[in-house]
Structure 1
Amino acid sequence: MNAQTEFRAIAGPVGALEVAVDRPAQARADGGVAVIAHPHPLFGGTLHNKVVQTLARAFVQQGWVSVRFHFRGVGGSAGVHDHGVGEVDDMLAVVAAVGGAGPLALAGFSFGGYVAAAAAVRLWEQRPAQALALVAPAASRFVLPPLPAELQARTLVVHGEVDDTVPLAAVLDWARPQSLPVTVLPGGEHFFHGRLPLLKSLVVRHLRAL
């Protein structure tokens, strides 16, 4: 993301996972860490994706240490794609390795949004996330879990009105039974072209409100 980004490897479920760490100029006193998941590996998704970088910048601006990572089989990460099953384990391994002991935030874009939601639910009993940011979560391609009621209040869901990769209707169908608000960007498509500054401001506003 910038010249100060620290790349390193951690132990994952099936071998090394490549992570990229960005630290704020002035970190939160409580040592908050945000772990961010990238879009689908089989469609070119990496930790360098512009939406993922935008999420990282928003968290860093608010004093969080930002950790992006490559799913198994991507970049410097070992293994092969596991259709969303092993990828949740990958995210949990990153949280365990570099999530620190302070507040935890999880975030993800598209396929990564599904993984972040699933990881947040898996972690809820032992390490509840203070914030969850889901951008265009892949509700039409994967079964997103319902979120615990307390987590819903800490969750931001952002979707583009004319997303033709993940239809808005699929996200609304997931959110509706939970009465979970969805922030819709009018005219926005899946990759938020021309809307990344607005996306960043929405995430920053959400974090400030927590």
Structure 2
Amino acid sequence: NKVVYQTAKTLDALGIPVLRFNFRGAGLSSGVHDRGRGEQDDVRAALDFLKAEFPGVPLLLAGFSFGAWVGLRAGCQDSRVSHLIGLGIPVNDSDFSFLWGCNKAKLFVHGSNDEYGAIEKVKTLVASLRGDNHLVVVEGADHFFVGKLDQLDGAINAWFTDHVFRLRH
């Protein structure tokens, strides 16, 4: 997936350790799709691995589409995760109300023409959330940010430069 690959590349260039993985039943992963329940276990296992490999480093969790729905849910509940990124969140078919109780800093990057997440629904959701939340709308972008991956990269870079890194100094 080009969105996930670009995000990993962007985070790596910022000096952030990155782990990309497939959920159970996707790609060459074993197991079967579990409608988000078992996939949250997959996220927690990935967080366990990262915490063991990089002790003392705050964890950031980024997810795209279904991966955003699963990752944001797991990340909100995990005290090891300090920041969250949701890309192309599928608000048309998925319930994101669990975010109302999540006070962690969040970045959302969404295409104005995303066919799985109506931009007005995304704006309403983000405006209803507590805490430090940022929404970047990529004009003309569809769900997969076709032809707009450079703007996705720019949004993530800007958030880290202006927000995340600034908070650490």
Contact 1:159 1:184 in 2 (8 A): yes
Query: Would you say 1:132 and 2:87 are equivalent positions?
Result: no
The partner residue of 1:190 within 131, 138, 143 is: 143
Contact 1:114 1:138 in 2 (8 A): yes
Specify whether residues 119 and 81 from structure 1 end up closer, same or farther in structure 2 by C-alpha distance, changes over 3 A only: same
Query: Would you say 1:158 and 2:113 are equivalent positions?
Result: no
Amino acid at match of 2:149: L
What are the within-5 Å matches in structure 2 for residues 68-147 of structure 1? Answer: 68-99=20-51, 100-101=54-55, 102-123=57-78, 126-127=79-80, 129-144=81-96, 145-146=98-99
Amino acid at match of 1:142: S
Query: Would you say 1:177 and 2:132 are equivalent positions?
Result: no
Q: What percentage of aligned pairs have identical amino acids? A: 32
4+ runs deviating over 6 angstroms: none
Contact 1:121 1:147 in 2 (8 A): no
Provide the rounded CA distance (Å) in 2 between the counterparts of 1:177 and 1:150. Answer: 12
Gaps of 5+ in 1: 1-48
How far residue 132 of structure 1 moved from its aligned partner, in angstroms, is 1.4
How far residue 148 of structure 1 moved from its aligned partner, in angstroms, is 4.9
TM-score of the superposed pair, with normalisation by structure 1: 0.69
Amino acid at match of 1:197: D
How far residue 149 of structure 1 moved from its aligned partner, in angstroms, is 5.9
> CA-to-partner distance for each residue in 1:129-157, whole Å, 9 max, x for gaps?
23211111122222122255641xx2110
TM-score of the superposed pair, with normalisation by structure 2: 0.85
Please give the secondary structure, in 2, of the residue aligned with 1:67: coil
> CA-to-partner distance for each residue in 1:95-120, whole Å, 9 max, x for gaps?
11233321101001111111121011
Amino acid at match of 2:68: G
Please give the secondary structure, in 2, of the residue aligned with 1:106: strand
Amino acid at match of 2:136: T
Amino acid at match of 1:139: V
Please give the secondary structure, in 2, of the residue aligned with 1:90: helix
Please give the secondary structure, in 2, of the residue aligned with 1:184: strand
Query: Would you say 1:58 and 2:10 are equivalent positions?
Result: yes
In angstroms, what is the RMSD of aligned CA positions? 1.7
Provide the rounded CA distance (Å) in 1 between the counterparts of 2:101 and 2:12. Answer: 26
Q: In structure 2, what is the equivalent of residue 12 of structure 1?
A: none
Gaps of 5+ in 2: 165-169
Contact 1:140 1:171 in 2 (8 A): no
- Number of aligned pairs? 157
Provide the rounded CA distance (Å) in 1 between the counterparts of 2:37 and 2:17. Answer: 26
